[in-house]
Chains A and B, each alone.
Chain A
């Protein structure tokens, strides 16, 4: 097994008919067992990056390799555990939590066969691993946001995914639920050695959530700030309010005018004990994938 779980090189993507590219010259490396948090404002290309990484969009320019394969091949081999954003439609769907996990576990089985015992056991283990054992038989419509999110993680575990890609995992989940979810993700990384890419527009997820508090940041954990290009790619200690203000700035400035801009990210970071100006080193524009890390 190689040391690199996902490798993105000089990736650009323009939606058909769009005037400007959604992503331009992105280079990122995700090492095995690492947690990479991708932050950026809405419309900054985070979802596009996720869709390219899990094989939902075709790579136009540049290269994406997931565990040494193309994203499509990695997906078909069950290596990618995609945890999408929550949507309304799913919640009206008449399936139990267990059936959601079984949908993924049943991929590739011949139609005339039921789920074999070994896969059934894996489904049960995945549900237990995320703490969904006691509500496994409940319809998904009766689950809380946090519970449903854990079921989606179990679905990824049941196929034996090695790379977990989480798209805005804490949206619509209360604070206690977010904390439990964070602990779960950290546990999976520690105990199963999973590689995790987490995408969020919510800076609190990154500051407190994903890294379990500043004190627990491990050497391998990194943050990438994304607004069309990668603005930063390094250990989270290097994320400064100034950097965040820059990445998020234009977005906010368009909405509220310049006065709100500086206050917003500083307040977010200060709330979680970052020393606001401790790391005054700026940011490298563009392709700085090699930089950062521990």
Chain B
């Protein structure tokens, strides 16, 4: 029997039950978001927002909002979410200004701003975690590479709640999101409020990152926001199948990676990421063979 199934059903004594449930929730929401990330080429944006979480973790640790050994609390998650959404909104604001700016004008473009926020957040987080000390900050690698096996009831409940909100928001705002993602200027000219739509997707990325950090850490959670969508667009050119494939790829990748990690005794975050990389590469090969 698969160990992830044993863990999810509690057949192994419930040791990793919350790990599997957290990973599942994260996979479902990231799978849906990743299609937009890939189609809108927001990979680096996701990377920047993910790293913003590290600064948030530092603040949380210094304020003593973590439980023993660096486990996350609900106020802790909320504060990190504020951090991530703030950075996401700042990126969205810069890119909308960039769109209205003069062609060829020497200004900070979106990628420059992301680069700035990314290193600022990581540096701030590193200093604050150091200041907080290991009792509050936990092991720094667990924030960097994920610590899914340590997920507790708070993590799995928060992940389920956030995943529900993200999936509902994607379904509710599917029309403006889709038109905006397809062709932003045309969407605007047809009356879609694109600035709000962009902000919405950024905010959803922000909250998704807060929980995917538990699975893959700030460094690797970009994988969850990019690779499922990257695999899906290789396999289909139809809208509904692409979203279904994105979610399926994320769920399969996360569960297979977790299974491999439990059997091989490798760190779960990096194992999940490599599984997703393998799946995306295979999808790319299939797409190529079909003449994409």
Contacts and interface: CB of A to CB of B under 8 A. Distances in A.
A87 B182 CA distance: 10
A80 B185 CA distance: 13
Interface in A99-116: 99-100, 103-104, 106-109, 111
Interface string B173-194: 1111011011101111111100
A186 to B, nearest CB: 23
B172 A111 contact: yes
Given A94-B242, A155-B186, 15 more contacts: A16-B105, A17-B105, A18-B102, A75-B190, A75-B191, A78-B191, A82-B186, A87-B183, A93-B39, A93-B182, A103-B179, A103-B187, A104-B179, A111-B171, A155-B190
A216 interface: no
A57 B171 CA distance: 30
Given A94-B238, A96-B238, A103-B175, A55 B188 contact: yes
Contacts of B175: 103, 106-107, 109, 111
A103 B238 contact: no
Contacts of B186: 82, 84, 152, 155
B67 interface: no
A99 B171 CA distance: 16
B9 interface: no
Nearest to A138: B237
Interface of A: 15-18, 22, 51, 54-57, 75-78, 80, 82, 84, 87, 89-90, 92-96, 99-100, 103-104, 106-109, 111, 139, 141-142, 152, 155, 159, 165
B107 interface: yes
Which interface class (under 10, 10 to 19, 20 to 34, 35 or more) fits B?
A: 20 to 34
A141 B236 CA distance: 11
B116 interface: no
Contacts of A142: 237
19 contacts: A55-B188, A55-B189, A57-B100, A75-B188, A75-B190, A78-B190, A78-B191, A84-B185, A93-B181, A94-B233, A96-B239, A103-B187, A107-B175, A107-B179, A108-B191, A139-B237, A155-B186, A155-B190, A165-B189
B189 A89 contact: no
A107 B190 contact: yes
Contact of B182 (A17, A78, A95): A95
A142 B105 CA distance: 35
Nearest to B243: A94
Nearest to B193: A76
Q: Is the interface of B mostly helix, strand, loop or mixed?
A: helix
A109 B191 CA distance: 12
A107 B192 contact: yes
Contacts of A104: 179, 190
Interface in B141-180: 171-176, 178-179
A141 B241 CA distance: 16
Chain A at the B interface: SS class = loop
Contacts of A75: 188-191
A84 B237 contact: no
Interface centre among A90, A141, A152 (most CB of B within 10 A): A90
Nearest to B100: A57
A82 B182 contact: no
Given A94-B239, A103-B175, A106-B175, A80 B189 contact: yes
Interface in B191-244: 191-192, 233, 236-239, 241-242
A165 B185 CA distance: 13
Contacts of B191: 75-78, 107-108
Contacts of B41: 89
A56 B185 contact: yes
